Amino acid sequence: MIAAEWAAKRRVTVEVLRYRPEQDADPSLQAYDIPYTEGMSVLQALQHIKDHIDGTLSFRWSCRMAICGSCGMMIGGKPQLACQTILRAGEDRPLRIEPLKHFAIERDLVVTMSGFISKLESIFPFIIPKTSRATTEGEYLQTPAQLARFENFSDCINCMLCYAACPQFGENPDFLGPGVFALLQRYNGDSRDGGRERRMELVHSKDGAWSCTAVGYCSDVCPKHVDPANAVNQNKTNSAVDFFFRFLPRRRSPEREA
């Protein structure tokens, strides 16, 4: 009956990890007591705090429907999107909201993204056509089976939840990480793409696929079911194959001749 009592009170307490670089030496938790409505999201709770209680609270958000990837944070210790996570009343302890783990805190729930963005830029995140075609020659065709090879990897919204889930990224911030690997595989796995050779250098590197120990938690927390662990781990096979096949003479690809 605790849940019913809470609902009757229509209040809920959340704890937010705050860090204001101009005044705080270290982050600290701040509790907020807010009005509770059935089905409200954690994002709505944060918005209530910012609009009615404390305007200094900082957090990123945009679409409110789990597609922009802005509101990723640690909610109850788990990396989740604030807009997609429903606030529950009647819990024994207040819900704890913290910035994404393994990232530096800029301010309150806002983390530094620059490392992730530069990794994303480094993998040539665009199709490099295998054979270039003039517009008059028509579209690049692809069968449903060819699409199925990479389609889920193109669903990544760059929310970085998988990075907060990855202990190897926590240990080594230079590890390319699950999300960037999903996008790398999105292009390497595309039948129209010919840029594999350029991307594989990063896969083979110290901070590439071999930094992953197949924990698999990244895929569990992914809000778009991208399965980044699969993207990283199939690239271990690719990297191993490349290692052994480098002793064989290579067939000249049309891209190299061009």
Partner 1 sequence: MRPPYLRAIDPHWWAKPPYLAYTLREATGIAIVAYALVLLIGVICLALGENAYEGWLGFLASRWSLALHAMILIAMVFHVWTWFAIMPKTMPRLIIGGYYVEPRLITAAGIMVAALTSLLLLLIALMISQ
Residues of this chain that bind partner 1 (CB under 8 A): 19, 21-22, 25-27, 78, 101-102, 104-106, 111-112, 143-145, 148-152, 167, 170-171, 189, 213-217, 219-220, 227, 229-230, 233-234, 236-237
The rounded Cα 147 to chain-centroid distance in angstroms is: 22
Nearest residue (CB) to partner 1, 33 versus 151: 151
Nearer to partner 1, 17 or 66 (CB): 17
| Residue (12 or 182) nearer to partner 1, CB | 182
- Please report how close the Cβ of residue 234 comes to partner 1 at its closest, in angstroms: 5
CA-to-CA distance for 44 and 35, rounded, in angstroms?
11
Among 96, 233, 66, 87, residue whose Cα is nearest residue 166: 233
Q: Minimum Å distance from CB 146 to partner 1?
A: 9
Question: Would you give the distance in Å from CA 122 to the centre of its chain?
Answer: 16
Q: How far is the CB of 206 from partner 1 (least distance, A)?
A: 19
Distance CA 117, CA 13 (A): 34
Residue 254 Cβ vs partner 1, minimum distance, rounded to whole Å: 24
Cβ atoms of 91 and 70 within 8 Å: the answer is: no
Minimum gap (Å) between residue 192 Cβ and partner 1: 17
Q: Which residues contact 183 (CB under 8 A, 6 or more apart)?
A: 120, 123, 125, 153, 156
CB of 207 to partner 1, least distance (A): 16
Start-to-end CA distance of the chain, whole Å, equals 73
Token readout for 251 is: 């067939």
Q: Tell me how crowded residue 61 is: count the other CB atoms within 10 A of its CB.
A: 17
CB of 38 to partner 1, least distance (A): 28
Our CB check for partner 1 shows the closer of 17 and 127 to be 17
Q: Which is nearer to partner 1, 94 or 216 (CB)?
A: 216
Q: For the sheet containing 28-35, what is the strand order?
A: 28-35, 11-18, 95-98, 72-75, 78-81
CA dist., res. 158 & res. 183, Å (int): 9
Compute CA 42 distance to the chain's CA centroid, rounded to the nearest angstrom: 18
Two tokens, residue 156: 């990544």
CB nearer to partner 1: give 214 or 258.
214
The tokens describing 247, both together, are: 């002793």
